[in-house]
């Protein structure tokens, strides 16, 4: 755990430079606008520890899969969002000495992410090896209003000298991913162009071994503006060209005590959104527009967009500034990562803040992120998350075919970029099939929240039928049990692999079948034409399929221990040595200290599994049942997934156990800010941030939605004076204010 970030309500502040934590700070101070994102790297050269990261949404490469022993059905490649052209770079040399925070003396330093308006600001004073003291103030943002543009305002002020600065702003496409196999680089240069103080660099992803994978072209542009004493100046641009690199060199006179301001206007255009053959031309127009608006206007527009966002989704916590900072930090990053403008995009586990997990889509999106966007954004945002999976339906069907399924059964991939499976551990890829349940559940969740039943008819039902077909083929009749069983699965608790009858998976399969049958009835009745068309397209055999589904719904095996009154995570769970987490304190985290077999045969649970089911389908279970299962499973849960504590917070609140709920809550609220797990340098836990939001709103706030009807049942954690949150439902924006006296719900 680290504690070097200053607690503040609206800002993430590094006061005084911490080079030893620089890679962490870069993650924390990442900026994004849903279309592009950028780690909190310095503009000028930095020879210390750093992880450069510039990402363009939707741009990826099929990296070679690393695997020891191949299994049939493994994916050929691992799709990963790749580091793209570095557009922030501005190298600075002052009277012949290169500016590099790793080598000069730092007299003062402050780096600050302002979450209120999404800007990253740095102010520092430095003493160079030649004794020159200089102040650097840089500010930048990725515009929410113009989501292919990023702007930098970089000011140099000589404090004790007059002299000359050599300034080299550049675009550098010669970048690589830290996690690429054998340091392979993924980009090739297509071309570059210079015109006055404008430069354009077009890079294209390499041709891969896979024909069906598109190559992406990204054109980055930059245009420079300079001010001295508030007046624009026009220094001579000397182009600097290298392979995959274009820059300008400027000589600027520096006046003692006066700022020289360097403004860099940039854009990053992807072939995903622009015809590649016209991309440079388009970039020129785009950049011209941006440039003429100017930094201040652009910043104003950007700030306004952030205001709108905060207006809808701020959470205010009084009496606990660390908690306040934590929750805003989570909301801020979620809003930066995904804006819901483009149904081809999704939410990578690290968003735009690092390379880990390849920026691909997991079931996190449906299970954790969807509720956040449902409540905090226009319904089209959540809808686009569903459309994303609908668009991938054909690939999910093909994926299931590879595994031996037929008749339009779909198995969605565990991790994906374009709908194809990218994961290659058999116990996950082939067996962690409960993801299919979460994708079905998200459809229900969306319709329940928005009332948009038309979605069911247009898109949802097709997905539901394909998933139900999968479940119906995936179970088999056990003569021994006289029940349908589901063999060889991995549940949400990945500390069990290849188990039989995972209660959660069986439950979600049963639920999906039931919801699909209901949905068929609904669409049949309300949109008969559509049903006719759809059932023909899907070759749906109502007699056979519906009967089989009904039978499975009735006869699926759901393991339980009646004596204890608990559902059993899987067959044989009670054969384990049942222990509590408290008994193995010195062995934690077990995923670092124990071998995999020891983890597997232990009773310890990585993240909510039975309890995840009781959270999703809470109306099916009584409080007593919830209590018995919570008391049985929670003490065995090590929460070694960042997605675990939030579900426990919500359930603990429901059980009135506020202290326990709060204990769970603090584990994730500042997970990245305090670098709890020593992994923030890999990037932020974006998807688990949505869980933290849920812990507040659905946990402490007790928010529930039932067919569009919203209700609250708030509690106030000890130590908080008050809190309030805003959620939108239908056309209403509600503010829930909770304090020691009680709570009120205000329609805004």
Pick from 292, 308, 593, 620 the residue near a second copy by CB under 8 A.
593
Q: How far apart are CA 381 and CA 652, in angstroms?
A: 30
Under rule CB under 8 A, residue 182 binds a second copy: yes
Under rule CB under 8 A, residue 595 binds a second copy: yes
Under rule CB under 8 A, residue 73 binds a second copy: yes
In sequence order, what are the residues at sequence separation of 6 or more whose Cβ sits closer than 8 angstroms to the Cβ of residue 135?
123, 124, 125, 126, 155, 156, 157, 159, 259
Under rule CB under 8 A, residue 180 binds a second copy: no
Under rule CB under 8 A, residue 477 binds a second copy: yes
One-letter-per-residue 3-state SS of 589-632 = CHHHHCCHHHHHHCCCECCCCHHHHHHHCHHHCCHHHHHHHHHH
Under rule CB under 8 A, residue 403 binds a second copy: yes
Quick one: which segment of 18-26, 34-42, 386-394, 573-581 binds a second copy (CB under 8 A)? 573-581
Give whichever of 48 and 635 is closer to a second copy, judged by the CB atom. Answer: 635
- Cβ neighbours around 598 below 10 Å, total: 12
The encoded tokens of residue 647 equal 């579900």
Under rule CB under 8 A, residue 103 binds a second copy: no
Q: How far apart are CA 443 and CA 467, in angstroms?
A: 12
Under rule CB under 8 A, residue 555 binds a second copy: no
Q: Give the CA angle between residues 708, 714, 716 to the nearest 5°.
A: 155
Whether the CB-CB separation of 569 and 491 falls below 8 Å is answered with yes
Give whichever of 575 and 718 is closer to a second copy, judged by the CB atom. Answer: 575
Q: How far apart are CA 701 and CA 308, in angstroms?
A: 23
Under rule CB under 8 A, residue 625 binds a second copy: no
Whether the CB-CB separation of 321 and 7 falls below 8 Å is answered with yes
Question: Which H or E run contains 485?
Answer: strand 483-485
- Least CB distance from residue 496 to a second copy, whole Å? 9
- Least CB distance from residue 486 to a second copy, whole Å? 9
- Least CB distance from residue 730 to a second copy, whole Å? 43
Q: Which of 352, 85, 128 lies closest to 221, judged by CA?
A: 85
Quick one: which segment of 67-75, 130-138, 227-235, 698-706 binds a second copy (CB under 8 A)? 67-75
- Least CB distance from residue 367 to a second copy, whole Å? 21
In sequence order, what are the residues at sequence separation of 6 or more whose Cβ sits closer than 8 angstroms to the Cβ of residue 532?
none
Distance of CA 339 to the CA centre of its chain: 11
Under rule CB under 8 A, residue 178 binds a second copy: no
In sequence order, what are the residues at sequence separation of 6 or more whose Cβ sits closer than 8 angstroms to the Cβ of residue 20?
49
Quick one: which segment of 47-55, 60-68, 157-165, 448-456 binds a second copy (CB under 8 A)? 60-68
- Least CB distance from residue 562 to a second copy, whole Å? 13
Give whichever of 182 and 740 is closer to a second copy, judged by the CB atom. Answer: 182
Binding residues for a second copy, total number by CB under 8 A = 47
Under rule CB under 8 A, residue 183 binds a second copy: no
Give whichever of 362 and 665 is closer to a second copy, judged by the CB atom. Answer: 362
The encoded tokens of residue 650 equal 């919500």
CB-count burial class (<10 Å; 0-12, 13-18, 19+) for 102:
middle
Pick from 601, 713, 721, 730 the residue near a second copy by CB under 8 A.
601
Pattern 671-710, a second copy, x by CB under 8 A: ----------------------------------------
Selected catalytic residue, list 494, 496, 545, 681: 494
Cα-based distances in Å from 54 to 231, 693, 710: 32, 27, 40
Q: Is residue 737 reached through a cis peptide bond, with omega within 30 degrees of 0 on the bond before it?
A: no
Under rule CB under 8 A, residue 424 binds a second copy: yes
Residue 536 in 3-state DSSP?
helix
- Cβ neighbours around 356 below 10 Å, total: 18
Under rule CB under 8 A, residue 583 binds a second copy: no
Under rule CB under 8 A, residue 304 binds a second copy: no
Pattern 489-528, a second copy, x by CB under 8 A: --------xx-x----------------------------
Under rule CB under 8 A, residue 481 binds a second copy: yes
Quick one: which segment of 125-133, 280-288, 302-310, 427-435 binds a second copy (CB under 8 A)? 427-435
In sequence order, what are the residues at sequence separation of 6 or more whose Cβ sits closer than 8 angstroms to the Cβ of residue 328?
9, 10, 115, 314, 315
Active site residue 458: no
Active site residues: 494
Residues interacting with a second copy, by CB under 8 A? Answer: 65-69, 71-73, 182, 402-404, 424-427, 430-431, 476-481, 485, 487-488, 497-498, 500, 571-572, 574-578, 591-598, 600-601
């Amino acid at each position: 755990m680290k504690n070097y970030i200053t607690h503040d309500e609206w800002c993430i502040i590094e006061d005084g430079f911490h080079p030893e934590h620089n890679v962490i700070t870069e993650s924390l101070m990442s900026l994004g606008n849903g279309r592009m994102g950028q780690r909190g790297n310095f503009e000028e050269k930095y020879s210390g520890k750093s992880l450069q990261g510039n990402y363009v949404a939707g741009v990826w490469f099929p990296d070679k899969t690393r695997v020891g022993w191949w299994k049939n059905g493994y994916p050929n490649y691992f799709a990963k969002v790749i580091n793209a052209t570095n557009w922030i770079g501005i190298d600075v040399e002052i009277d012949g000495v290169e500016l590099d925070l790793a080598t000069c003396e730092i007299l003062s330093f402050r780096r600050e992410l302002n979450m209120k308006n999404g800007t990253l600001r740095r102010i520092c004073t430095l003493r160079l090896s030649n004794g020159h003291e200089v102040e650097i103030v840089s500010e930048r943002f990725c515009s929410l209003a113009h989501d292919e543009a990023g702007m930098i305002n970089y000011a140099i002020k000589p404090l004790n000298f007059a002299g000359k600065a050599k300034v080299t702003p550049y675009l550098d496409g010669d970048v690589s991913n830290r996690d690429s196999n054998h340091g392979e680089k993924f980009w090739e240069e297509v071309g570059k162009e210079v015109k006055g103080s404008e430069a354009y660099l077009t890079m294209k992803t390499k041709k891969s071994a896979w024909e069906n994978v598109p190559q992406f072209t990204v054109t980055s542009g930059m245009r420079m503006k300079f001010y001295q004493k508030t007046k624009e100046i026009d220094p001579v641009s000397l182009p600097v060209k290298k392979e995959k690199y274009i820059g300008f060199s400027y000589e600027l006179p520096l006046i003692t005590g006066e700022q020289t301001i360097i403004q860099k206007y940039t854009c990053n255009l992807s072939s995903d959104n622009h015809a590649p053959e016209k991309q440079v031309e388009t970039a020129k127009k785009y950049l011209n527009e941006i440039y003429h608006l100017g930094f201040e206007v652009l910043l104003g527009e950007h700030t306004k967009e952030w205001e709108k966002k905060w207006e809808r989704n701020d959470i205010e916590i009084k009496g606990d500034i660390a908690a306040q900072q934590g929750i805003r930090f989570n909301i801020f990053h979620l809003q930066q990562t995904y804006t819901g403008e483009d149904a081809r995009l999704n939410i990578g586990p690290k968003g735009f803040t690092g390379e880990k997990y390849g920026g691909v889509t997991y079931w996190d999106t449906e299970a954790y992120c969807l509720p956040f966007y449902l409540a905090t954004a226009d319904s089209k945002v959540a809808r686009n998350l569903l459309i994303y999976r609908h668009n991938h339906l054909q690939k999910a069907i093909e994926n299931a075919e590879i595994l031996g399924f037929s008749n339009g059964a779909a198995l969605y991939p565990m991790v994906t970029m374009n709908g194809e499976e990218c994961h290659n551990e058999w116990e996950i890829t082939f067996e962690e099939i409960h993801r299919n349940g979460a994708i079905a559940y998200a459809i229900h969740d969306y319709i329940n929240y928005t009332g948009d039943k038309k979605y069911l008819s247009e898109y949802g039902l097709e997905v539901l039928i394909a998933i139900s077909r999968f479940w119906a083929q995936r179970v088999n009749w056990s003569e021994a049990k006289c029940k349908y069983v589901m063999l060889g699965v991995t549940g949400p608790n990945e500390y069990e692999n290849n188990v039989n009858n995972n209660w959660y998976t069986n439950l979600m399969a049963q639920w999906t079948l039931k919801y699909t049958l209901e949905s068929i009835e609904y669409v049949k009745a309300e949109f008969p034409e559509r049903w006719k068309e759809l059932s023909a397209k899907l070759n749906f055999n109502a007699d056979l399929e519906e009967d089989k589904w009904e039978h499975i719904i009735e006869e699926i095996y759901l393991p339980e221990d009646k004596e204890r009154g608990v559902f059993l995570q899987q067959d044989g769970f009670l054969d384990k040595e049942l222990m509590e987490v408290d008994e193995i304190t010195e062995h934690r985290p077990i995923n670092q200290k124990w071998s995999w077999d020891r983890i597997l045969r232990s009773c310890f649970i990585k993240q909510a599994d039975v309890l995840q089911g009781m959270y999703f389908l809470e109306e099916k279970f009584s409080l007593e049942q919830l209590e018995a299962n919570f008391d049985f499973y929670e003490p065995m849960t090590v929460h070694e997934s960042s997605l675990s504590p939030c579900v426990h917070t919500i359930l603990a609140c429901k059980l009135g156990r506020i202290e326990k709920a709060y204990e769970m809550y603090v584990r994730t609220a500042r997970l990245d800010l305090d670098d709890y797990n020593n992994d923030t340098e890999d990037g932020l836990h974006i998807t688990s941030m949505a869980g933290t939001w849920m812990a507040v709103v659905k946990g402490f706030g007790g928010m529930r939605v039932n067919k569009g009807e919203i209700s609250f049942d708030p509690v106030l954690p000890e130590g908080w004076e008050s809190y309030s949150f805003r959620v939108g439902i239908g056309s209403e924006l509600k503010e829930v204010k909770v304090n020691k006296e009680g709570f009120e719900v205000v329609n805004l």
